[in-house]
Amino acid sequence: MADYDLDAVDREILYALQEEARNLSSSEIADRTDASSSTVRKRIQRLESEGVIKGYSANIDYTKSGYPIRMLLFCTAPIPERGEYIDDLLEISGVVSVQELITGEQNLLVTVVVENDRDVTPIAQQLADMGLTITDEVLVRSHQSTSFDEFSSR
């Protein structure tokens, strides 16, 4: 069971925000949901306060911005402590995301974006200094994502 029960309007708001949060007004989202603009604004505020919407961010093409190397570093941390590493990992320059993995020996996935391959080594050293073991490194050629379509009624 989810922490917060989403209805059809909430799901449609989430879908619209995933697609283009920066370019849609509450009135445009209201047109999609058959709700009023004020209802949409209140729903967005509630979704934010409930932690369903955690924030808004730009989808950056790191290669075009001068950081063409994206590495996935699969790490192993002591199981009871793996979640405790996340905030510290996100403080490391070049680390853009951390995922806590539940199954397998590799239980943290650290995504690093850097200018050149030499920049990965100091980051890997910081991970080792924290007590993590890097069990695999994967160089990513491209990365695409899409909106979660279960939020859309279309």
pLDDT in the model for residue 152:
80
What confidence tens digit (pLDDT) does each residue in 5-49 have? 889 899 999 998 988 888 889 999 999 888 999 999 999 999 999
What confidence tens digit (pLDDT) does each residue in 83-121 have? 999 999 999 999 999 999 998 889 999 999 999 989 999
| In a shared domain, residues 135 and 73 | yes
Tally the domains of the chain.
2
Q: Six-digit token pair at 107? A: 């239980």
| In a shared domain, residues 30 and 85 | no
Give domain status of residue 148, yes or no.
Answer: no
What confidence tens digit (pLDDT) does each residue in 52-88 have? 999 888 888 899 889 999 999 999 999 888 999 999 9
Alpha carbon distance 112, 131 (integer Å): 18
| Residue 76, phi then psi, degrees to nearest 5 | -120, 130
| In a shared domain, residues 79 and 126 | yes
pLDDT in the model for residue 154:
62
CATH of the domain at 23: 1.10.10.10
pLDDT in the model for residue 41:
94
pLDDT in the model for residue 2:
56
pLDDT in the model for residue 67:
92
Domain limits for position 48: 8-58
DSSP single-letter state for residue 63: T
| In a shared domain, residues 48 and 79 | no
SS3 (DSSP) at 38: helix
Alpha carbon distance 136, 1 (integer Å): 34
